[in-house]
Amino acid sequence: MKPIQLKEGVYWVGEIDWDLRNFHGYSTQRGSTYNTYLVIDEKITLVDGVRPHLFDKMMQRLSALIDPAKIHYVVVNHVEMDHSGSLPLIMDVAKNATILTSPNGKKGLLAHYKRNDWNIQVVNMDEEVNIGKRTIKFFLAQMVHWPDNMAGYLVEEKILFSNDAFGQHIASPERFDDELYLGVVLEEAKKYYANIVLPYSMQVKKTLEKLSPLPIDIIAPSHGIVWRSHVKNIINEYHKWASNQTRNKCLIIYDTMWKSTEKIALTLQNAFNHSGIGTKMINLRYNHISDIVTDVLEARFICVGSPTLNSNMLPTVSAFLTYLKGLSPKNRVGLAFGSYGWGGQSVRHVEDALKECGFDLLESIKFQYIPDEAQLKETYEKVKQEIGKK
Ligand code: FEO
């Protein structure tokens, strides 16, 4: 369990979670890491923690460098338990340590751990704490991802400890962005943004503005790979994602019972393709919702289809729409479609959900039983015309 040096006196001492495959509903096929950082200065400072079951491994890395009892500050950038879960164990070892956290962080820690005996020092926006030869400047980043989030900037080293921002769920022996395929790191950063950060894009924009004057050599997030060679690249991607910039791309997301809804999906694919818009066919039976919203991050057109089952949508479709509504992407064009035997309520339910997302809607498409060639041809022409107006 070796620590990894970021700069002289600054180390990654976190732990790798090789087995993680689900992070509150987000499929994490590459696993993850919980990144803890150690700054060795006159006042030894630990930044963030790991999940409790990985505490011993983190301590092995830490103990290779220092006596953990000598930790002076423990920075809690975020109370969510993937980072603070091991805090009680850390504080049992570093008995004299002071916790540095945001005002909401203090409230969150007391509510989670009920430890009035901990010495907690609240830090505010732009506050600086001297740790010896170095200084940490704090930036409150409320709602990126919880109300307590903050980031710490190690001024002399130009290292930003960004916590959830700029993270990715990747378990790997590599620690830096120039040691892995960049495409993989960016794809996982994009998936992370879509699934965790997207609802808070306004706050991300404010945080990016606040950070923009800082010279940054290294972005050290709390999950995944550390950015040192592609810092500008990931900041640019964050600007794009936070602005809800989309491409002329269409996702056709559906489930089907007896292939009638699928026939409509294929007709939509033709209509979009012949309008010069690339489409991706996404059958909800074979795709995870967290992968689908990763595509939603860049797609302007979102078509969602379901047959009617017991006066409702298929459960796969309603699960996706619930997830989508929560993530609240903006500036999208939606289309609801589906088939039915009798009743036919599914399309209205899909349409209502897309309206609740705030999407600009194309006219919905609905067929009883099996649409024939003439009906599909008419649909193709109608959808092409509507696309032309957008
Ligand atoms: Fe990685 Fe919001 O915790």
Asked if the model's pLDDT at residue 152 lies above 90, the reply is: yes
Residue 145 annotated among the catalytic residues of the structure: yes
- State mean pLDDT over 379-386: 97
Last residue of a domain, one of 242, 274, 295: 242
Tokens coding 360: 């600009």
* pTM of structure: 0.96
Instruction: Point out the catalytic residue in the list 19, 24, 117, 373.
Output: 24
Give yes or no for residue 295 CB within 6 A of ligand 1. no
Count of other CB atoms within 10 angstroms of residue 372: 11
User: Residue 376: its pLDDT value, please?
Assistant: 98
Contacts of residue 60, Cβ cutoff 8 Å, sequence gap at least 6: 1
- State mean pLDDT over 191-219: 96
User: Residue 390: its pLDDT value, please?
Assistant: 84
Residue 78 annotated among the catalytic residues of the structure: yes
Give yes or no for residue 84 CB within 6 A of ligand 1. no
The angle at the Cα of 286, spanning 387 to 373, to the nearest 5 degrees, equals 45
Residues 236 and 362 in one domain: no
Instruction: Point out the catalytic residue in the list 41, 164, 188, 295.
Output: 164
Residue 378 annotated among the catalytic residues of the structure: no
Whole-angstrom Cα distance, residue 137 to residue 108?
21
Query: How many domains does the chain fold into?
Result: 2
pLDDT in tens, 66-93: 999 999 999 999 999 999 999 999 999 9
Contacts of residue 303, Cβ cutoff 8 Å, sequence gap at least 6: 250, 251, 252, 253, 254, 265, 268, 334, 335, 336, 337
How far, CA to CA in Å, does 134 sit from each of 40, 42, 130, 137?
10, 9, 6, 10
Give yes or no for residue 300 CB within 6 A of ligand 1. no
Contacts of residue 212, Cβ cutoff 8 Å, sequence gap at least 6: none
Give yes or no for residue 263 CB within 6 A of ligand 1. no
Instruction: Point out the catalytic residue in the list 78, 83, 169, 349.
Output: 78
Atom of ligand 1 nearest to the CA of 222: 1
- State mean pLDDT over 160-167: 97
Instruction: Point out the catalytic residue in the list 15, 17, 48, 82.
Output: 82
Residues 216 and 273 in one domain: no
- The alpha carbon of 137 and the centre of ligand 1 are apart by a number of angstroms equal to 21
Output phi, psi for 79, to 5 deg. Answer: -85, -15
Asked if the model's pLDDT at residue 169 lies above 90, the reply is: yes
Give yes or no for residue 82 CB within 6 A of ligand 1. yes
Residues 236 and 259 in one domain: no
178: left (phi over 0), alpha (psi -120 to 50) or beta: alpha
- The alpha carbon of 28 and the centre of ligand 1 are apart by a number of angstroms equal to 14
pLDDT confidence tier of residue 136, bands split at 50, 70 and 90 = very high
Give yes or no for residue 48 CB within 6 A of ligand 1. no
- State mean pLDDT over 24-51: 97
- The alpha carbon of 362 and the centre of ligand 1 are apart by a number of angstroms equal to 36
Residues 90 and 210 in one domain: yes
**What end-to-end distance do the CA atoms of the chain give, in Å?**
56
The domain that contains 330 carries what CATH number? 3.40.50.360
Residues 149 and 211 in one domain: yes
- The alpha carbon of 149 and the centre of ligand 1 are apart by a number of angstroms equal to 9
Residues 175 and 301 in one domain: no
Among protein residues, the one with the nearest Cα to ligand 1's atom 3 is 80
Give yes or no for residue 332 CB within 6 A of ligand 1. no
pLDDT confidence tier of residue 343, bands split at 50, 70 and 90 = very high
Residues 283 and 196 in one domain: no
The rounded mean pLDDT for the chain is 97
Last residue of a domain, one of 177, 211, 242: 242
Residue 80 annotated among the catalytic residues of the structure: yes
Residues 164 and 36 in one domain: yes
Angle separating helix axes 346-356 and 315-327, nearest 10 degrees: 10
Whole-angstrom Cα distance, residue 88 to residue 113?
8
Residues 370 and 281 in one domain: yes
How far, CA to CA in Å, does 167 sit from each of 33, 161, 192, 283?
10, 11, 7, 28
Asked if the model's pLDDT at residue 97 lies above 90, the reply is: yes
Give yes or no for residue 169 CB within 6 A of ligand 1. no
Residues 305 and 158 in one domain: no
In the chain, what is the greatest distance between 2 CA atoms, to the nearest angstrom?
79
Count of other CB atoms within 10 angstroms of residue 254: 28
Residues 109 and 154 in one domain: yes
Whole-angstrom Cα distance, residue 48 to residue 149?
11
CA dihedral 70, 73, 77, 83 (to 10 degrees): 20
Give yes or no for residue 290 CB within 6 A of ligand 1. no
Last residue of a domain, one of 242, 277, 297: 242
> Could you give the 3-state DSSP secondary structure of residue 1?
coil
Contacts of residue 106, Cβ cutoff 8 Å, sequence gap at least 6: 120, 122
Asked if the model's pLDDT at residue 38 lies above 80, the reply is: yes
The structure tokens 């916790």 sit at: 99
- The alpha carbon of 218 and the centre of ligand 1 are apart by a number of angstroms equal to 20
Residues 162 and 299 in one domain: no
Count of other CB atoms within 10 angstroms of residue 256: 20
- Full domain range(s) for residue 252: 247-389
DSSP per-residue string spanning 242-299: HTT--EEEEEEEE--SSSHHHHHHHHHHHHHHTTT-EEEEEETTTS-HHHHHHHHTTE
- State mean pLDDT over 218-244: 97
Helices (H), the chain: 55-63, 81-84, 87-93, 103-113, 182-192, 201-211, 231-242, 260-273, 289-296, 315-327, 346-356, 373-389
- State mean pLDDT over 273-301: 98
How far, CA to CA in Å, does 155 sit from each of 128, 129, 150, 209, 301?
9, 10, 15, 18, 43
Residue 223 annotated among the catalytic residues of the structure: yes
User: Residue 1: its pLDDT value, please?
Assistant: 76
Give yes or no for residue 164 CB within 6 A of ligand 1. yes
pLDDT in tens, 309-341: 999 999 999 999 999 999 999 999 999 999 999
Instruction: Point out the catalytic residue in the list 83, 145, 169, 349.
Output: 145
Asked if the model's pLDDT at residue 143 lies above 90, the reply is: no
